């Protein structure tokens, strides 16, 4: 069985809700990412065997197979197939897994794993809300509700439960949120993201090249002043991930394709793990998934040089650090979703792009990416920078 290699990775800079990327149709935005992967790698667009694209809110402009529509909006020949997948927040990380499995098996040689989400144009929860309002019902049957003793599964409930389980008060969460903005601001000033960001034209002229959600002037006081989501709770919009528009993509190939197309590998995919667990607390699952990934790969957490753990809420990476006894100095070194945004279906490929570039910039070897996902799922990927 062949190894799977990443030969190119790219992302858009995050756009705030109704911000600089809000004028972009998601299919066009994703199409630009596909074009950039082809252009930067130098591969013939006709050599792409498949496009696997993650997207969570598959309705409206993200309906009718947005993965295929991204291909039609790109320079790729229309003979290139595509598929759209949903593993909630891990959708495009799962796209990377599927792409790796395809090229490792030899059934395909060159696959693009990507993701897109325009949360301005297709707000979070739109598929469910529109269906319920149209009288089509919701996603959870009475059997599911009875089994878990809840009427619905909520990430906000899960985050509150997670914070309580690990003893995190609001002050600790806000402190972490501030550090995310500070790290992201420092990385931006140092041009750490320059190589990974695809400039997109913006209405009125110019290009969007800087993550729009970073609060460069954030303080503990300004974060602490944000209203709590629930009285008596610890969560606020300031210590949770930001609504974001964006797209990202990774070009994955096997050894045969490296030789046939003269490509240079940037990283080897070392481990692919996905697990499921408690759908009520849901956001704790990356801990168990990480333990399993390390066991399967014969590694210890100390062997991993950098980690990207998605900041869906501040309590998620903080709990993960405790749960796997990891070094906080190696996690989300350039900031995370609290500052940079969480464009749902695009975040997996986005984090992979940032992790790969951070490893190479620091001349480090192993990186681990962990993602919490709706329904109590988690993806973990370990890569080796080359």
What's the Cα-to-Cα distance from 263 to each of 69, 114, 332, rounded to whole Å?
27, 19, 29
Residue 36 tokens, joined: 């950039």
315 flagged as catalytic: no
DSSP structure string for 200-229? EE-TTSSEE-S-TT--TT--HHHHHTSPBS
Q: Is 208 a catalytic residue?
A: no
Which of 55, 244, 315, 372 is the catalytic position? Answer: 372
**Of the residues 97, 181, 270, 342, which is catalytic?**
342
Distances (CA, A) of 227 to 123, 223, 339: 21, 9, 18
Query: What is the DSSP track for 35-82?
Result: HHHHHHHT--GGG--EEEEE-S--SGGGTTTHHHHHHHTSSS-TTS-E
Half-sphere exposure of 260 (CA within 13 A, CB side): 11
Q: Which two tokens stand for residue 22?
A: 């809000």
For the four alpha carbons of 164, 170, 171 and 176, in that order, the dihedral sign comes to positive
If DSSP codes are grouped into helix, strand and coil, which group holds residue 356?
A: helix
167 by Cβ neighbours in 10 Å (0-12 / 13-18 / 19+) ranks as exposed
Catalytic residue, from 55, 89, 244, 315: name it.
Answer: 89
Active site residues: 89, 342, 372
């Amino acid at each position: 069985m062949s190894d799977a290699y990443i030969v190119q990775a790219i992302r858009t800079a995050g756009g705030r809700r109704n911000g600089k990327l809000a004028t972009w149709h998601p299919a066009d935005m994703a199409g630009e990412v596909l074009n950039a992967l082809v252009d930067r790698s130098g591969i013939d667009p006709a050599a792409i065997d498949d496009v696997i694209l993650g997207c969570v809110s598959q309705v409206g402009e993200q309906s009718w197979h947005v993965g295929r529509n991204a291909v039609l909006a790109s320079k790729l020949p229309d003979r290139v197939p595509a598929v759209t997948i949903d593993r909630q927040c891990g959708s495009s990380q799962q796209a990377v897994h599927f792409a790796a499995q395809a090229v490792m098996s030899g059934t395909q040689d060159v696959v693009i794993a990507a993701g897109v989400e325009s949360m301005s144009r297709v707000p979070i929860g739109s598929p469910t809300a529109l269906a319920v309002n149209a009288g089509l019902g919701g996603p959870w049957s009475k059997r599911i509700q009875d089994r878990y003793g809840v009427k619905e599964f909520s990430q906000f409930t899960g985050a509150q439960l997670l914070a309580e389980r690990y003893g995190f008060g609001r002050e600790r969460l806000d402190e972490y949120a501030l550090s995310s903005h500070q790290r992201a601001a420092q990385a931006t000033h140092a041009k750490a993201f320059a190589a990974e960001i695809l400039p997109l034209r913006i209405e009125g002229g110019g290009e969007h090249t800087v993550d729009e959600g970073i609060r460069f002037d954030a303080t503990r006081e300004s974060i602490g002043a944000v209203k709590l989501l629930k009285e008596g709770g610890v969560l606020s919009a300031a210590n949770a991930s930001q609504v974001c528009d964006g797209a990202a993509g990774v070009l994955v190939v096997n050894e045969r394709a490296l030789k046939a197309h003269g490509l240079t590998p940037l990283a080897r995919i070392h481990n692919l793990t996905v697990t499921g667990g408690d759908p009520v607390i849901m956001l704790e699952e990356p801990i168990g998934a990480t333990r399993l990934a390390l066991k399967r790969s014969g590694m210890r957490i100390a062997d991993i040089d950098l980690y990207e753990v998605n900041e869906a809420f501040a309590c998620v990476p903080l709990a993960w650090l405790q749960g796997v006894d990891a070094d906080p100095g190696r996690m989300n070194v350039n900031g995370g979703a609290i500052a940079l945004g969480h464009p749902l279906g695009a975040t997996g490929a986005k984090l992979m792009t940032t992790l790969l570039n951070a490893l190479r910039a620091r001349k480090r070897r192993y990186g681990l990416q962990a993602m919490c996902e709706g329904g109590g799922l988690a993806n973990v990927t370990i890569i080796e920078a080359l």
